[in-house]
Amino acid sequence: MKQVTFWEKESFFAHQDIIIIGAGFMGLWSAFELHRQYPKLKITILERNVIPKGASTRNAGFACFGSPTELIHDAGLLGVDEMLNVAAMRFKGIQKIRTYFTDEQIGLDPCGGYECILNSQISTEELDEKTAWLNGLFATITGKAQTFIRNNSKMDLLGLKGFDNLIENSLEASIHSGNLVHTFMSRIRNSGIQILTGIEIAGWESLSDSIVIETKQSIRFTCNQLLFCTNAFTSDITVFPNIIPARGQVIVTSPIPDLALRGTFHFDEGFYYWRNLGDRILLGGARNQALDEERTNDLTVTDLIQHVLEHFLQQHIASTYQYRIDYRWSGIMGFTDNKKPFAGSIGKGVYAAIACNGMGVALSPLIAEEITALMSADI
């Protein structure tokens, strides 16, 4: 007779009301919101890694809602109203995080955000016009008459070189993503929600009365509703052709004595981003230098992007410092063609909340509310 292990005991994994795939920000916020509104539901989160290994724990730690050139670009892509709607969700998402967690718990530093701009991208005159236009639009979102302010005098104080203009946004912040995930997972578990790590999905099937989930660990789960919060990795599990993976590579310097840089920074519609990490510099991005190659779920780093980042660091940020590169990593973001996140049904009793387009920290809390509202019809 085959010995039944602890993990295979049917009594341990009882039928669940909802199973969520993925324990990153989206999975955690969705579980939190579902439990908040329906505290009697039996909810389990399945995570294939020991700790979440997607964008939630491998991002750059920005609590931001959009740099001016990115917002201008998105207004052209989405239309002004839709751009504002997404930006408002990001802003409200950051406020929601601070409602449930203290700044100390999640390492949030209200250091402010900046965008560095070249005249070859947009002239100073046009930049001032667009900044005034954005401030008029964002006043109802942020409650400030001037969310964005051109403040070129700070460039030297922050040690920035080779830029023509600097736009400041005092409402943005940096965050310790690892602390947020760790603290959030503890809170989720304390509420009675199971988080099972090391469980990888092999397939699923919707039956007349339940959904059956097969795993690579030969453990079977059943539930009434299934929610995918797997971002760019969704296509590894189920057919979802509209999600484009986008690798974001990062470098981190050694400690730099007397580092002047403080804040979160963007350049080139957000394709480059950097901040101080204590007395280190964290710099990421440059995927627009090899867009096709960076549309991948591969978490390795590449010589091309790493060299571009190192050159940008030396040219614009750390030209006067002595340092080495201590850390290199990448995270995988999920994008849609229209840069709008997806929250909806993908089958009978099966849903997805994915593709925050590089803004998962800020958007996940609000997208979780959307997907909870959609799933409520079947609860």
Question: What pLDDT, in 10s, does the model give residues 95-137?
Answer: 999 999 999 999 999 999 999 999 999 999 999 999 999 999 9
Residue 60: pLDDT over 90: no
What mean pLDDT is predicted for residues 291-315?
96
- pLDDT at res. 190: 97
Q: pLDDT category, 58, cuts 50, 70, 90?
A: confident
Residue 370: pLDDT over 60: yes
Backbone angles phi, psi at 207, to 5 degrees: -100, 180
Q: Under 8 Å CB-to-CB from 252, ≥6 apart: which residues?
A: 277, 280, 281, 282, 283, 325, 326, 327, 328
Question: What fold is seen in the domain 112-173+243-335?
Answer: D-Amino Acid Oxidase; Chain A, domain 2 (3.30.9)
Question: Where along the chain do its domains lie?
Answer: 6-57+178-242+339-378, 112-173+243-335
What mean pLDDT is predicted for residues 333-349?
89
- The rounded distance, in Å, linking the Cα atoms of 295 and 326 is 25
What mean pLDDT is predicted for residues 210-219?
92
Which CATH code of 3.30.70.360, 3.40.640.10, 3.40.800.10, 3.50.50.60 fits the domain covering 6-57+178-242+339-378? 3.50.50.60
Residue 226: pLDDT over 70: yes
What mean pLDDT is predicted for residues 320-333?
95
CB 115 within 8 A of CB 266: yes
Residue 326: pLDDT over 90: yes
What mean pLDDT is predicted for residues 228-241?
76
Q: pLDDT category, 3, cuts 50, 70, 90?
A: very low
Residue 11: pLDDT over 50: no
What does pLDDT average to over the chain? 92
- pLDDT at res. 8: 46
What mean pLDDT is predicted for residues 265-271?
97
> Within 13 Å of residue 33, how many CA atoms lie on the same side as its CB?
25
- pLDDT at res. 230: 92
C-alpha dihedral, 236 to 241 to 242 to 248, nearest 10°: 40
Q: pLDDT category, 239, cuts 50, 70, 90?
A: low
Name which residue leads in pLDDT, 238 or 155.
155
- pLDDT at res. 240: 64
